[in-house]
Every structure is written in C-alpha cells, then in structure tokens.
Chains A and B, each alone.
Chain A
Amino acid sequence: MTVSPERWQVIKTVFGESLDVDAAERADFVAARAGGDREVEREVNSLLLALAQEADLFERPALASLTVDDAADFPPPATLLGRRVGSYDVLREIGHGGMGVVYEAARADDQFRMRVAIKTIWRGIESAAIVGRFRQERQILAALSHPNIAALLDGGVTDDGQPYLVMEYVDGAPIDSWCDQRLLPVRQRIGLFRQVCDAVQYAHRNLIVHRDLKPGNILVTADGTVKLLDFGIAKLLGNREDGTDSITRGALHPLTTVYASPEQVRGETITTASDVYSLGVVLYELLAGRPPFAQNDLSPLELQRHISDEPPRRPSGAVTAVTASRTGEPTPMKLARQLEGELDAIVLMALRKEPERRYSSVELLSQDLDRYLADLPVVARPDTIGYRARKFVRRHGAAVAAGAVAAVALLAGSIGTAMQARVAERERDRARTEAAAAQRERENAEQVSQFLQGVIATADPSWDAPTQRLGGDSANNAMLDAVARRVDSELLGVPQVRATILRTLGRANAARARVAVAETQLTGALALHRQQNDASGLRDVAIDLAALGSLYGQVGRLTTADSVFRLSAETLGRLGDSSSIDFARTSNDWGLVALAQGRVRDAAPRIDATLRALRGLGRDTTGEYAIAMGNAALIADNLGRIDEAERLYRSSLAVFARVRGRDFYERGFSLHNLAIVLTLKEQHAEALSLMAAADSVWTFFLGANHPNVAVSQIGLAKVLHQAGRDSAALSHLLRAENILRRNNMPKDHPDMARLDAVYGQVLLGLGRLDAAERRLAHAIAIRRVTLKPRDWRLGDVLGSMGAVLVARHRYADAEPMLRESYSMLDEEFGPLHPRTVLMARNLILLYDGWNRRATADSIRATLAKAR
C-alpha cells in the first residue's frame, strides 16, 4: 500500500491527536478529523488498532531478544568477574560507563570480607591518553581524604596488565531519590546538601575541580552520610597536562548537561565557580523537584542555549503538587512560601550566568545556607544579593528605559536625516531619488521601530515575563511613560511609525491594567492608521480595534467591546482574511466578550474559528493554542458539560506544558477554571492546589495588585467555601476587595459581582446573615443589569440569596427565589449538573424548614431518580 506524502502527513497528525482523546471517543474523533477522507480514516483506525495490539513489543531493544543460545555466535570478552585482583575477589559488576567497569569485590584475606569497589578501564581502550587519565584520577583521589568523599584504598595493575583502583564501597542512593523516599522536609534537605558543600569545598582547597557534580555522583548512605563519587573527569587546577578542557570531557556525559554550567556548555575555562553552579542546580532540584532547565522538549542545542542564555525560573515558581508532597508539604503553595525570598535568592545566586557574579566560593554558599538554617539574617539577601539585585535591576531598568528613549531619538533622527537627504538630492534627480529616499526612510523606521517595540514589549507581561518581573512595576511603568513622551514629541512627522509604537505601548499598558493611558494610546493608533488608505492600513485598523476591544472587555465595558470586536472582525473579513493569525486573535477575544456577556452559544463558533485558524497555521503547540483551548473548555463549562470541560482544560494545560522555555500568564485561566470544575466535582484538594498555582502564576507575571490576582483570590475563597472552610476563605476575599479597590474597578464590573457573590456565600456559611444579604443584593443588582435575564450566574446568586432567606426562616420570600434559581440552572445545565443539584438541595432545606414535607420529599425523590 502506498500513501501520498501529503496524506501521510494528515495521517500522522490525526493519529497523534487521537491519542489524546479517550479511547471510547476515538473513532468519532478520527472520523471528524479525517473530514470525509475515507483512506485517512481507515489508515488511522488500522494503526490505532495495531498500537493497541502491539503490547510494547518494540520496547525491549532487539539485542534483548538474544539469549545465551546465541552466545556461541559471539566471541567472549574479557572480564575481571570471578578473578582475584591484588588481594580482592571480584564478586559482581555494579556499574559501568565512563572509561570502564566498576565491580564489587571483597578482601580475600579478611575474615570480615570488607567490601570494596574496584574500578577498571575497559579492555581494549588502554591508549596512552586514557591510561594517563586513569592515573590522574588515582592521583587526585590519593590527595583527598574527607569523610564525604569515597576514599581510595589501593590500586595497581592486574597480571595481564589492566590498571585498577580499589575504592571505598558506598552502599547508598543518589541524593535526590534519598530525600524523596524519606519525604525529607526542606530544612533537612539543606542540611544534607551542606555535607555535599563540605566535600566539594575540601576538594577545591586541594585545587581539584570535580566538574561532574550531579545527584548520580552524590550518594547518601542509610545513616545519612553523603559520599561524593567519581572524580573521573575532575581537573587539577594549574595542571596543564589536561589541555583539552571542558566541553571535550562534557561530551562523555551527554545526558548530564542539565547540571553543566554555562561556561561548560560554551566550552570556556572551567574553574571552581563551575562546581558552584552545578551545586546550585542540584540544590534547585532538591528544593523545587526539577532542574532549572529540563531536558524534555528541548533539543541538545536548545538545552545548551537555555543553560547559556536563559534566566532560570525561581525555585519557588517551579514547585508542583508532586514536589510538595515529596517534601511533606500539604500544598505547593506552602512549599513555594518556604522557598520564596531567601532560598530563591541563594539558589539563583549560585546559578548566575557569569561565573564572577556567583558565590565566589562553595564556602560562602554553604555559610549562607547555614545562616538560613539558623534563622539568622542571611548575608546574601539584604546585604549582598538583595542589594546587588536591586542595584542591578535599577541599572538594568535604567538601561532599558534609556535604550528605549534613545531609540525614539534615533528613529526621529534617522528619519530627519533621510528627509534632509531627500531635500539635498532633490536638486539632482527628483523622481528617482525621492523614491529611494522614501524607501530608505521606511527601512530605517522599520528597523528602529522593531527594536523599540521589542524593548517596550518587555514591559508587557504577556510577552516574555520571567526575566522582566525583576524590573518591578514602577520601573517598567516609568519606562513606558518615558517612551510615550518621546513618541508624542518627536515622531509627529511619521504617523505610521508613531501609530505602530502607540499600539505597542497601549497593549503593554493594557496588560499592566493602566486603562486610561492604554485607551488614549490605542485610540491614537487607531486614528492614525485610519488615515492610511490601503489594505495594510486597514489590517492595522483591525488590529487596533481588537486591542481596544480587549481593553474594554478587561474593564467590563462589554457592549462596547463587542461592537469594537465586530468591527475588527468585519474589517478583516473585508480583507478576505479569515485564516490569518490576526483573525485568530480577534476571533478568540471576541468570543471571550460574548462569554462574559453570557452569550455562550455566540462564543462557541468564534473560539472554534480561532482553533481552526491556528491549526491551519500549524500553530497547535503554541501558547495561543493552549489559550484558545482553555476558552473552548470554558464554553463547555458554561454549557454544563463539566467532564468535557475538565478534559479540555487539562489538554490546554498539557499544551502549555509543551511550549518550550516559556510560561504564559494565561495559563492562570486554565488553572483557575479547572480548579472551579474540580470544586464542583468535590475534588477539593486538587482544586485548592490548582487555584493556588493560578494565584502564583498571576502574582508572578502581573504583580500582586493586578485585578487577575483578585480573581484568583476570589477563586481561593470559593474553593475553600465549597470545602467547608469559610473562615479561611475570608482573608482571601479581603485581599481581593483591596486589590479591586486599588484598581478603581467600576462598581458594576463582573469581578465586583463575583466578589460579592462569593462573599455572600462565605458570610452565609459563617452565619453572618445581614452582611451576606447585603453582598448578595449587590451582586444580584449588578448581574441583573449586565447579564441577559436568565443567565445562570444570576440564578446562582439568586439561589444564594434564597438560602440566606431560608436561614432567616423567611420561607415565603425564599421560595420564589430558589424556584427561579433552580429553573434557570436546570435550563442552562440540566438537572444533573452539580450546580442544579446544589440548588435542589437548597429547595429541600426550604420545604423541610417550612414544614412542607411532601414537597421536600418529592424533590428528594426526583433527585434520587435523576442519579
């Protein structure tokens, strides 16, 4: 059977996607994705069937299918097994790699049969250079005598000329798994790690750099003693014999690049600072449960580039629920809190890219950890790291702002020069020169404006945040304002460039919730682009409109947002442009506005269009796709299809996880919404940790006072309320209210309604009925105005109000409210949805309290039957 290459590509894609779909739905999925192409459908299904039958047949390498019967076909190799080496009997092979094999052996003449490890060179590779290395390792080990370094006991040459080393036998586990198996808490992990520091520090004092520090070389014995192993690629400082440094030896250990320092992957000189870095990686992994740069999803070259150039995330930002549980913490938030501040600073200091900016010795690293353990003020933090970091940021921040301002001047200047050139040249050949000068002007402007946009964009958290968080809100705001002033004063003569920069500024300010400034800049950009009467101008108009629409949506001006987006989409439509990235973005954001207005069925086709466009563009492993997928999940969520919603949220998070080397603040939405779904499913523990993760994503990207953080705080309150922990919920609501107030949210903003709705529920749970009633009344008032009449969110808050009235024994007032609420929820989600069921329970409470047992029982019966 032959398949055309184009078809094979489709088959590959559909096959891959279908693996993410539940087995039961796979056939439908394949049929849908094949889009009527019977051959694709048949082929994918046949391959899926084969995969199901295949039963990991190929997982054992082909060699493993050979047995001893096959051995006759292969000549025997040399081994030390079963032989006597010096005064030791070689008992078994315990490992191999590097340049040779390591055996376990026992002293032949010793009645206690002391166990040792014997290391040899592979037979057949005894070249002068390798024997030289082996000799050097012996020399290095002989110089080292430390309780945390596996000791050299003996060494020699076998009868048939094979060199060997006899070493202390270490019966232990790699430090990371040792800690994880014992659920060792953070402080004890640090204590253990300090033993590693001791050993490395001792080696450094003996002018020896280890160069290959990693958990596999750091064993811990059952009694908790650290033993550092494998000085096989260690280097004697000042010993020029080993002229071929770093990367050459690094090649021996390709899979441990994760622990290699930037100078190691760049092939630069290796010093003790390289060991400080590798120790930083090991510590990072012990605390956060993963290395700063993970290998998965990165090609080797990409991994090298990340190590060399990308700043690592703070350890506290990298923890997960799994890590938390391994350190015995109940939630990732708790673990993150412990790491935040001092430990983050210590680890990041060890991980600086520039060797000279790390701790200048392992001793200093170790001392700082010691101070942390003793609850003493850590030198590194207020006096060293904090100070230096602030200074650096200030310098860096100023440099960024200065660069941006200078770029505006340059832009103005280059355009000015081009214009002068035009005037001068006009004398000679008017028509030709004018065209050339105009071209040059465009190119200059384009170049500088791209640079400038890059600089501004760094202040926009949705672009590339982790590095930028250090800059702090105020530094970035000041930078944006400085650029804006220059743009206004110096770019008046070049409207198109000015418009593009205004839009970039507007977006950055919008993302930083600086609404008024953003609106002025975006409408300014729009007005300028409108003057440009061609297709590219029209496209810019559409993009400006979409940016404005997002801004209006963000501040709750939904009707305006809706019409602005409509205009944007229609403009793109007029350009015949419904598969471009701009269309995908507009369509997505427009869909979100419809969702916010409660018009779910209008939202669905818009989000679908976005997903389709992104897939068509081959952008289905991007952050944007993950975001749109999250929105599709939200639609399913709003339609009451919570299982589907859960699945889509999880896929959205999976796509986020697949995007290389970047995190997105939008991931917070998928985390937040999945948490709410799980709350409905009464999976409180996971819900809480997801919501906490959403909160830390937003705090990290947007700063602690961004309205999104209010949303996640309300979310935490909601999750806690559903778990019956109302008093814990209260403090989150206070924080949320504070944040919303600081941001001058309009009183009828959806977030205000949300705040009051959850507030009301929590207060009801605490029995504070007056306050609950006030809050709920406010939420009802907002939702009656901003949502369509029978929106479920209105029903939800009416139901809460009904519950308050039941608690006040005002049954006659409560009944119509609960009835209305129930019918709205039933209408929206059906009778089986958790929200509807909850309301049915409220009705039962009502009729029980009201002594209308028959009605209560009939609802009970309906509920039971529905199950």
Chain B
Amino acid sequence: MAPEDSQDVTSLLLDLQHGRPEAMDDLIPLVYSQLRTLAASYLRNEQRQHTLQPTALVHEAFLRLVDQRTATWQNRAHFLGVAAQVMRRILVDHARRRTAGKRGGGKIVTLDEELTPQAERLDLVRVDEALDELKAVDERQARVVELRYFGGLSIEETAQVLDVSPATVKRDWVLAKAWLFRALRDGQDTS
C-alpha cells in the first residue's frame, strides 16, 4: 500500500464524521484489501504456530491505514466499527465461495452434530443470515456480535466503538450468543 492511502483513509474517516456518508464507498475497498492481506498474514503465522491474534487484525489495519499523528479516539472507534463490518464481509464471502466450491451449488453447510462444540466450524454464511435476523430484533446486539465475533474486538473495545459501558456489552453479548445459537440450531433442525 502506498503512503498516500494512509492520508486517504484518514480524510475519508473525517468525511464520515462530518456527515458525508458516501465516503464509505471509497473507504471500504481500502479497508477490505488491507484486511485481506492481514488475514493472510494471520493464516500463515498460524501455520507456523505463531501467535498473531485474530483479535488484532482490525487494529493492525487501523495502524496501517490511518495517519497516526492525527488519529483521535473518535476516529479510531469509528474505524474499528467499519473494519469489523468489512471483516464480516470478507469472511462471509470467503465461506460462500468455499461452500460453493465444495457443495457445487451454494447449499448451506449445517452444524455437524457428530462433532463436539469446540471442534465445530460454524457456517459463516448461516451466521451471517442469522445476524441479519437478530438485527431486526435488536440492532445493538447484532452490532456487538459483528464487532466481537467478526471484528475480534474485546468487550472493552466493543464498548468504545458503541460508546456504552463494558457491562452493557457483556449483557448484550451473552444474550446475542444464545439467540444466534438457537437460530443456527433450529435452522439445522428444519433443514
């Protein structure tokens, strides 16, 4: 990435904050490509048993994309919010492609009951859909899941992005997990 991108992202964030929502259209591709690169770095590190935490990806993207000398708390929170959303898109797109490749028709992979929960690999396409359903019931809870599960943010960071207390995030998170799990489980029962 060229250095000037860093200034682009910074000014795009400022645009967003100053009420120019169309800046998002320019921002997302930049964040998208940065996060894909970082995801790759993560995957290869894991291959060698190294410790880059998936939680850190959106931060890394922030550090790389935003001019740190003019970064503020507010635009950091804003950025993390956007990045988590983009991360969701990246991962769900990837899952969709893989599913299509394996099943040859976009059929939904269901949770496998034979496996223990720890070993279960969630079907991100289903999670994505369930998350849209949750959003209709409780928008903030859906945001919490996006930030925590897709963005890999901690409770405290999620609280920063949403500007609520960590205790509130914890409450939302517990209920949202239960809600999503039920949606996935029931979806599986009926499929």
Chain A interface (Cβ < 8 Å from any Cβ of B):
2-3, 8, 12, 15-16, 19, 46-51, 53-58, 61-68, 70-71, 73-77, 79, 81, 92-93, 96-99, 122, 124-130, 133, 244, 247-252, 254-255, 295-302, 658, 660
B138 within 8 A of partner (CB): yes
User: B122: which A residues are within 8 A, CB to CB?
Assistant: 57-58, 62, 65
Q: Which of B29-64 contact A (CB under 8 A)?
A: 34, 36-48, 50-52, 54-57, 59-60, 63-64
User: A56: which B residues are within 8 A, CB to CB?
Assistant: 117
A96 touches B60 (CB 8 A): yes
Residue of B57, B179, B180 ringed by the most chain A CB atoms within 10 A:
B179
Q: Which of B66-100 contact A (CB under 8 A)?
A: 67-73, 76-77, 87-88, 91, 94, 97-98
A19 touches B137 (CB 8 A): no
A124 touches B127 (CB 8 A): no
B124 within 8 A of partner (CB): yes
Listed A/B pairs (28) with beta-carbon separation below 8 Å: A8-B138, A15-B178, A16-B171, A50-B179, A53-B181, A55-B118, A57-B177, A58-B149, A61-B54, A62-B122, A62-B149, A63-B39, A63-B42, A63-B150, A66-B42, A66-B94, A67-B46, A70-B94, A74-B36, A74-B40, A77-B38, A93-B51, A97-B56, A125-B3, A251-B71, A252-B63, A255-B156, A299-B165
Residue of B46, B57, B177 ringed by the most chain A CB atoms within 10 A:
B177
How far, in angstroms, from A129 to B152 measured CA to CA in the complex?
29
B149 touches A61 (CB 8 A): yes
A50 touches B43 (CB 8 A): no
How far, in angstroms, from A791 to B180 measured CA to CA in the complex?
53
A248 touches B44 (CB 8 A): no
Residue of A74, A295, A297 ringed by the most chain B CB atoms within 10 A:
A74
User: A51: which B residues are within 8 A, CB to CB?
Assistant: 174, 177-178, 181
A57 touches B94 (CB 8 A): no
How far, in angstroms, from A301 to B74 measured CA to CA in the complex?
10
B73 touches A300 (CB 8 A): yes
A127 touches B6 (CB 8 A): yes
B27 within 8 A of partner (CB): no
Chain A nearest CB from B117 CB (Å) reads: 4
Q: Which of B151-187 contact A (CB under 8 A)?
A: 151-152, 156-157, 159-160, 163-167, 171, 174-175, 177-182, 185
Partner of B46, one of A46, A68, A126: A68
A63 touches B3 (CB 8 A): no
Chain B nearest CB from A857 CB (Å) reads: 54
B163 touches A79 (CB 8 A): no
Chain A nearest CB from B48 CB (Å) reads: 7
A99 touches B68 (CB 8 A): yes
User: B36: which A residues are within 8 A, CB to CB?
Assistant: 74-75
Q: Given A53-B181, A65-B121, A252-B71, answer yes or no on A81-B54 (Cβ-Cβ < 8 Å).
A: no
User: A295: which B residues are within 8 A, CB to CB?
Assistant: 156, 166
User: B152: which A residues are within 8 A, CB to CB?
Assistant: 61-63
User: A63: which B residues are within 8 A, CB to CB?
Assistant: 39, 42, 54, 57, 87, 91, 150, 152
Q: Is the interface of B mostly helix, strand, loop or mixed?
A: helix
User: B15: which A residues are within 8 A, CB to CB?
Assistant: none
With both beta carbons as reference points, the residue of chain B lying nearest to A13 in the complex is identified as B171
- Give me the 6 closest cross-chain CB pairs, A-B, nearest first: A74-B40, A127-B3, A61-B152, A55-B117, A63-B54, A51-B178
B98 touches A70 (CB 8 A): yes
Partner of A54, one of B70, B97, B181: B181
B120-133 vs A, CB cutoff 8 Å, 1 = contact: the mask equals 11101001000000
B182 touches A57 (CB 8 A): no
With an 8 Å Cβ cutoff, the count of chain B residues facing the other chain is: 78
A57 touches B117 (CB 8 A): yes
How far, in angstroms, from A48 to B156 measured CA to CA in the complex?
25
User: A248: which B residues are within 8 A, CB to CB?
Assistant: 68-72
20 other contacts beyond A248-B72, A254-B76, with CB at 8 A cut-off? A12-B138, A47-B178, A50-B181, A51-B178, A53-B117, A54-B117, A58-B177, A62-B124, A63-B152, A64-B54, A71-B47, A76-B40, A77-B38, A77-B44, A98-B63, A122-B64, A124-B37, A254-B73, A297-B166, A299-B163
Chain B nearest CB from A132 CB (Å) reads: 9
B145 within 8 A of partner (CB): yes
A77 touches B181 (CB 8 A): no
User: B181: which A residues are within 8 A, CB to CB?
Assistant: 50-51, 53-54, 57-58
User: B63: which A residues are within 8 A, CB to CB?
Assistant: 97-99, 122, 125, 252
Q: Given A295-B156, A296-B167, answer yes or no on A53-B185 (Cβ-Cβ < 8 Å).
A: yes
User: A249: which B residues are within 8 A, CB to CB?
Assistant: 68-69
Q: Given A54-B178, A297-B166, answer yes or no on A66-B39 (Cβ-Cβ < 8 Å).
A: yes
Chain A nearest CB from B20 CB (Å) reads: 22
User: B117: which A residues are within 8 A, CB to CB?
Assistant: 53-57
B175 touches A47 (CB 8 A): yes
Q: Given A8-B137, A92-B50, answer yes or no on A50-B165 (Cβ-Cβ < 8 Å).
A: no
Partner of A61, one of B1, B45, B55, B167: B55
Chain B nearest CB from A754 CB (Å) reads: 37
Chain B nearest CB from A305 CB (Å) reads: 13
B73 touches A251 (CB 8 A): yes
Q: Given A57-B177, A63-B42, A122-B63, answer yes or no on A300-B163 (Cβ-Cβ < 8 Å).
A: yes
Q: Given A66-B39, A75-B36, answer yes or no on A97-B59 (Cβ-Cβ < 8 Å).
A: yes
How far, in angstroms, from A54 to B181 measured CA to CA in the complex?
6
Chain A nearest CB from B115 CB (Å) reads: 11
User: B87: which A residues are within 8 A, CB to CB?
Assistant: 62-63
A300 touches B159 (CB 8 A): yes
Q: Given A68-B43, A299-B163, answer yes or no on A61-B50 (Cβ-Cβ < 8 Å).
A: no
Chain B nearest CB from A250 CB (Å) reads: 8
User: B59: which A residues are within 8 A, CB to CB?
Assistant: 97
B174 touches A251 (CB 8 A): no
How far, in angstroms, from A97 to B59 measured CA to CA in the complex?
8
A244 touches B69 (CB 8 A): yes
Chain B nearest CB from A551 CB (Å) reads: 36
How far, in angstroms, from A254 to B159 measured CA to CA in the complex?
12
Q: Given A53-B185, A61-B150, A127-B6, answer yes or no on A19-B167 (Cβ-Cβ < 8 Å).
A: no
Partner of B182, one of A15, A46, A299: A46
B175 touches A16 (CB 8 A): yes
Partner of B1, one of A53, A62, A124, A252: A124
Residue of A50, A297, A658 ringed by the most chain B CB atoms within 10 A:
A50
How far, in angstroms, from A106 to B182 measured CA to CA in the complex?
51
With both beta carbons as reference points, the residue of chain B lying nearest to A621 in the complex is identified as B167
How far, in angstroms, from A15 to B141 measured CA to CA in the complex?
14
User: A48: which B residues are within 8 A, CB to CB?
Assistant: 178
Chain A nearest CB from B160 CB (Å) reads: 5
How far, in angstroms, from A679 to B105 measured CA to CA in the complex?
67
How far, in angstroms, from A3 to B136 measured CA to CA in the complex?
10
A658 touches B167 (CB 8 A): yes
How far, in angstroms, from A433 to B160 measured CA to CA in the complex?
53
With both beta carbons as reference points, the residue of chain B lying nearest to A74 in the complex is identified as B40
Q: Given A8-B137, A71-B47, A251-B76, answer yes or no on A47-B179 (Cβ-Cβ < 8 Å).
A: yes
Partner of A62, one of B40, B41, B91: B91
A57 touches B120 (CB 8 A): yes
Q: Given A61-B55, A74-B36, A128-B3, answer yes or no on A122-B177 (Cβ-Cβ < 8 Å).
A: no
A62 touches B44 (CB 8 A): no
User: A127: which B residues are within 8 A, CB to CB?
Assistant: 3, 6-7, 67
How far, in angstroms, from A77 to B46 measured CA to CA in the complex?
13
Chain A nearest CB from B102 CB (Å) reads: 11
Partner of B41, one of A61, A77, A125, A128: A77
How far, in angstroms, from A73 to B99 measured CA to CA in the complex?
13
B70 touches A244 (CB 8 A): yes
How far, in angstroms, from A75 to B44 measured CA to CA in the complex?
10
User: A126: which B residues are within 8 A, CB to CB?
Assistant: 3
A73 touches B94 (CB 8 A): yes
Partner of B177, one of A54, A64, A97, A130: A54
B64 touches A76 (CB 8 A): no
Chain A nearest CB from B161 CB (Å) reads: 9
Q: Given A61-B149, A92-B50, A247-B72, answer yes or no on A75-B3 (Cβ-Cβ < 8 Å).
A: no
